[in-house]
Amino acid sequence: MTGSVLALLGVALAVVLPGIGSAFGVGLVGQSAAGVVTEDPDKFGQTLLLQALPGTQGIYGLLTGFIIMLQIGVIGGEMVPLTPEQGQAILMAALPIAIVGLLSAIYQGQAAAAGVGLIAKRPEELGKAIIYAVMVETYAVLALLASIMLIFGLQM
């Protein structure tokens, strides 16, 4: 396998796994929110805010994939020829956001869905419901940071 293929596998994983996680998380919160809005349509805005939270991991994954594509010249130029070692290094750099993005989006979805239950009962506590869900975001951001630092740190 050439280095470029490994690097593209890194792009694919960085985009696909957090994307799956975010879809699951947003879907889960959507179900909870639909339940609440069935009984109380006024809660649409508040629940939408919570539903958006697990969506960020998918964006982080796409961002990472985009940066790798820029670095290896898939976008805006010619593809840089990569050695198998360079390709493996890029693949490794993509793994933090790929794996943490997938799992943190699922867990954040669960926390946000629980938050939907919270505001169903106490709409005035929306801020707290958001904070609980956002705590999970920390780890997705850390993984994104690690992935980006790795990619920029590699010499092409």
Partner 1 sequence: MAVSKNKYAYAVGRVRVLETRLFDYGRLDRMLEAATAEESLKVLAESSYGNHFAEATGVHDFEIILSKEMAYVIAEFEKMSPQPEMVALMALNQDFHNLKVLFKCKYLGRQGEEPLLPPGMIPLKRLRSGVEEENFRDLPPVIRRAAENILMEFALSPDPQLIELHLDRALFEMKLAVAREGGSVFLVELFQREIDLLNINTFLRVKKMGRSKEFLQLALLPGGLLEEALFLNLLGEGLEGLIDRLANSPYGEIAAEGIRGWMEEGSAIRLEKLADDYITGYLRQRKSPPFGLEPLIGYLWGKQIEIKNIRLILVGKINGLPVEAIRERLRHVYL
Residues of this chain that interact with partner 1 (CB under 8 A) are 28-29, 31-36, 38-40, 43, 110, 113-114, 116-117, 120-121
Pair 56, 93: CB distance under 8 Å: no
CA distance 33 to 24: 14
Pair 105, 21: CB distance under 8 Å: yes
Q: Compute the least distance from the CB of residue 38 to partner 1, in Å.
A: 5
Closest to 63 measured CA to CA, from 117, 25, 101: 101
Q: Which is nearer to partner 1, 121 or 153 (CB)?
A: 121
Q: Which is nearer to partner 1, 7 or 29 (CB)?
A: 29
Distances (CA, A) of 12 to 47, 58, 75, 108: 31, 12, 15, 22
Q: Compute the least distance from the CB of residue 6 to partner 1, in Å.
A: 34
Q: Which is nearer to partner 1, 31 or 138 (CB)?
A: 31
Q: Compute the least distance from the CB of residue 136 to partner 1, in Å.
A: 14
Q: Compute the least distance from the CB of residue 21 to partner 1, in Å.
A: 13
